[in-house]
Structure 1
Amino acid sequence: MTKVQGIAFTEFGSADVLHPTDIDVPEPGPGQVRIEVRAAGVNPLDHKIRAGSMNAVFPVQLPHVPGVEASGVVESVGEGVTGLAVGDEVFGPTVSGAYAPLALAEAAKLAVKPGSLGFPEAAALPIATETAYRALEALGVQPGQTLIVHGAAGGVGSMAVQFAVTRGLRVVGTASEANHEHLRALGAIPVSYGAGLVDRVREAAPEGVDAALDTTGLSESLAASVELTGGKDRVLTIADPVTAGEYGVAFSSGGGKDGYRGEPAFAEALALQAEGVLEVAVHQAYPLAEAADAQRASEAGHLRGKIVLLP
C-alpha cells in the first residue's frame, strides 16, 4: 500500500488539529482511479467535519484526511474503468481525502480537464458547479425571472450567478462591499448585507424576486428571502439544515434524494469556459502544508471564489 504525506486530524477541534501525517492510499477499486493531486478545493464542509459539528450526518473515522474535490493527473486505473487512462488530466469529487498528494475518485464522476483551464481553477469547480446547478434546478428558475443569491461572491455563489445570468435570469447578489465590483463583472446587481437588506433589494429589483438561493446560512438572509419571494417554497439554502428548518425553507445537500448532478453541471461549466465567458475565481492558493491557515480563511468567510491547496 502506498504511503504519502498528507494533512489529517486525529481529534475534532479548531484548525490547530490539522497536521502533516503519513497516510495510506489504497489501490483503486473497481470503477475507481487514483489521481496525483495537483490542487484540492477547500470547502466549508471541511472545517465543519473537522470541528465535529457534522458527526450526526457525516461521521468520519479518525485519523481523517479532509478534502472532497481535486484536480490532477490519473496515476492508476482500477478494474472496469473506461474512458480514462493514466496521464489524463481530470477534476471532480474524491472518495478519499484530497488534502494529500494522491487520492481516489470514482472515474464516472470525473471530467477531463481542458488544457485551457489551470489545475487550481479546475479544483475550484466540482463542488461549486454541482451545487449551483442542483440548486437552480430545484428552484425551477426560468429565463426572465429574478433570482437573489446570498453569498454571491463565494465559490458556489459565483457559479450560481454565472449559470443564472447565462440562462437569461436577472440576478441580485448579496456580498460585502469589497466584492461588489466582482459581482457586477459576473452580471449580477450587488447589494450589501445588514439592516435594510429587504429595502435595498427591492430598490435594485423593483420587478420583484421570484426565487432565492442562500449559501450563507444566516438568519437574516433566510428571513429576507421569505419576505422578498412572498413565501417559503421558492427559497433554498445549501448552508444549514437547522436554520432551514427554523424558517421552513428547502435545504439541499447533494446526493441521496437530491441526486448528484455533476455530469450536466460540469458540462455546462466547461461549455461556458470554452466560450471564454466563465470566470473561475480562486480566492487564494495555499501550499498543502498550510492547510490549517486555508481552513481558517475559509471559516472567516467573505471570500471571492474558492480557496485551494497545492500539494
Structure 2
Amino acid sequence: MAHTWIARDFGGPDVFDFVEEEVRPPGPGEVTIEILAAGMNPADYKHVAMGGDPADLPIHVGYEVAGFLTAVGPETEIASGGGAVGDEVLAFRIRGGYSDAVTVPAKDVFAKPESLDFPQAANLLLAGTTAAEMLEVTGAQPGETIVVHGASGAVGVSVLQQARLRGIRTIGTAGEHNAGVVTLFGGEHVVYGDGLEERVRELAAGPVAAALDCVGTDEAIDVSLALVADRSRIVSIANFERAESDGYRVIMGRFPASAVFRDRIRAHLIELAGRGDLVVPVARTFPLAEAREAMAFLADQHPGGKIALLP
C-alpha cells in the first residue's frame, strides 16, 4: 500500500485527501519507484483549481519525483538506459507524484546524478524544461540581451542559468530583496514597479531582443510589449488572458508542441545538472502528510526556492 494525495473534486486545498492505495506491479514498459522526494509546482494545484471534466476525478497530483526502483517490468529499460532494482532515479511528466510509491512509464524515468540530492532531483525538470522552452520559442541567441520577468522564481532561475550557458545576456526583474538571487545565477537585476521600462532600457543600453514572462502581471506584459517589437519573441507562462489580443506567445506543458519539446530536452538538462552547470535551489521540505500546508507556502509566491515533499 502507498500513501498518496488525490483531489476528489475541483477546487482549493480542501478538496485534497490523503489516502492509501495499492501500488500496482509494473507491466512491460513500466517501473515502480519508492519515492524519497516529490517536487512541488504551482501547476500541481492550479490544474485542480481550474476545474475540468468530472470523469477525470479523482486526480492523482504531482508531476516529478526522485527515489529508487523497487520493481522493473518485463523487458523494460528506463529512458537513460538500463534500470535495476535499487537504482536511484528521477521521473518527470508522470502523474501521482505526491505519494510514497508509484508505478510509471519507464520512458519518463532517468538515472539520478550522484551530485543531486533527492529534493533537488525531484525539482529539476518541470522548471528546467519550461525555462528551456521559453528560450527556444523566443529564439534567444548568444550575444543578445533578453529580459526575464520574475527572474528569482524557480523557472526564472533556470532561465538565467541556461541563458548564461548559451552566452545570452539576461536582465531579470525581481523585488529588491531578491536582487542577490538574480545576480547569483547570472542575471542583471532591476526592481519591478513604476518606471520599470525606463530602468530596463537604461541597463540594456541597446536593443532588448526577447522578453520572457514568468510572473504574469500586466506590468510584465506591458513592459515586454514596449521593449520588444517582434511579438513572436515575447512569451508568457503565466498571463494567458491577454495573449490573443496582444499577440504574444504562451506555452504550457499540456500543449502538444510543448510536451514534445519538454520530453526531448529532459536528458540534456539532467546532464547539465549532473556536472553542476544547472543548480536547483531548494527552499524547504515538508513531510508528505503536510502537502496542504506546503501548497499554501508555495502559493505565497515567494518561497525563495523549490519545495519538496518527503514521504
TM more than 0.5: yes
Structure 1's 304 and 266: CA in aligned 2 closer, same or farther, altered over 3 A? farther
C-alpha distance in 2, partners of 1:246/1:42? 32
Structure 1's 144 and 54: CA in aligned 2 closer, same or farther, altered over 3 A? farther
Structure 2 matches for 1:124-203, cutoff 5 A?
A: 124-203=123-202
**Contact kept? 1:34, 1:75, Cα under 8 Å:** yes
For 1:63, the equivalent position in structure 2 comes to 58
Q: Deviations over 1:127-180 (max 9, x none)?
A: 111111122111111100011111211221111110001110100111222211
C-alpha distance in 1, partners of 2:242/2:283? 27
**Contact kept? 1:132, 1:159, Cα under 8 Å:** yes
Q: Aligned pair 1:91/2:86, yes or no?
A: no
Structure 1's 126 and 203: CA in aligned 2 closer, same or farther, altered over 3 A? same
**Contact kept? 2:114, 2:274, Cα under 8 Å:** no
Q: Deviations over 1:7-55 (max 9, x none)?
A: 223222222332321223323233221111111111111111232x152
Counterpart of 1:288 in structure 2: which amino acid?
L
Would you say how many aligned residue pairs link Structure 1 and Structure 2?
306
| Coordinate RMSD, CA, aligned | 2.0
CA shift, 1:211, in A, is 0.6
Structure 1's 278 and 94: CA in aligned 2 closer, same or farther, altered over 3 A? closer
CA shift, 1:273, in A, is 3.3
C-alpha distance in 1, partners of 2:153/2:27? 34
Q: Deviations over 1:240-279 (max 9, x none)?
A: 4333224221111135133433465344434433443432
C-alpha distance in 2, partners of 1:94/1:36? 17
C-alpha distance in 2, partners of 1:298/1:285? 11
Question: In structure 2, which of residues 22, 32, 45 is the aligned counterpart of residue 47 of structure 1?
Answer: 45
Counterpart of 1:73 in structure 2: which amino acid?
F
Structure 1's 269 and 92: CA in aligned 2 closer, same or farther, altered over 3 A? same
Counterpart of 2:167 in structure 1: which amino acid?
G
For 1:288, the equivalent position in structure 2 comes to 288
Q: Deviations over 1:175-202 (max 9, x none)?
A: 2222110110111011222221111211
C-alpha distance in 2, partners of 1:8/1:281? 27
Q: Aligned pair 1:33/2:31, yes or no?
A: yes
Q: Which runs of 5+ in 2 are unaligned?
A: none
Structure 1's 103 and 246: CA in aligned 2 closer, same or farther, altered over 3 A? farther
Q: Aligned pair 1:304/2:304, yes or no?
A: yes
Structure 1's 238 and 28: CA in aligned 2 closer, same or farther, altered over 3 A? farther
Structure 1's 252 and 203: CA in aligned 2 closer, same or farther, altered over 3 A? same
Q: Which runs of 5+ in 1 are unaligned?
A: none
Q: Aligned pair 1:206/2:201, yes or no?
A: no
CA shift, 1:111, in A, is 2.0
**Secondary structure of the equivalent of 1:27?**
coil
CA shift, 1:94, in A, is 4.7
Counterpart of 2:308 in structure 1: which amino acid?
V
Q: Aligned pair 1:225/2:220, yes or no?
A: no
**Contact kept? 1:96, 1:104, Cα under 8 Å:** no
Q: Deviations over 1:42-80 (max 9, x none)?
A: 1111111232x1527xx7732322111111111111234
Structure 2 matches for 1:101-140, cutoff 5 A?
A: 101-140=100-139
Counterpart of 1:5 in structure 2: which amino acid?
H
C-alpha distance in 2, partners of 1:230/1:222? 13
Which range is displaced more, 6-15 or 39-48? 6-15
TM-score by length of 1: 0.91
**Contact kept? 2:129, 2:266, Cα under 8 Å:** yes
**Contact kept? 1:95, 1:104, Cα under 8 Å:** no
Counterpart of 2:201 in structure 1: which amino acid?
R
**Secondary structure of the equivalent of 2:231?**
coil
**Contact kept? 2:142, 2:168, Cα under 8 Å:** yes
Structure 1's 24 and 64: CA in aligned 2 closer, same or farther, altered over 3 A? farther
Question: In structure 2, which of residues 61, 76, 80 is the aligned counterpart of residue 81 of structure 1?
Answer: 76
C-alpha distance in 1, partners of 2:94/2:274? 28
C-alpha distance in 2, partners of 1:291/1:143? 41
Q: Using the aligned pairs only, state the percent identity.
A: 39
Q: Aligned pair 1:12/2:10, yes or no?
A: yes
**Contact kept? 2:287, 2:310, Cα under 8 Å:** yes
C-alpha distance in 1, partners of 2:240/2:15? 26
C-alpha distance in 1, partners of 2:259/2:45? 24
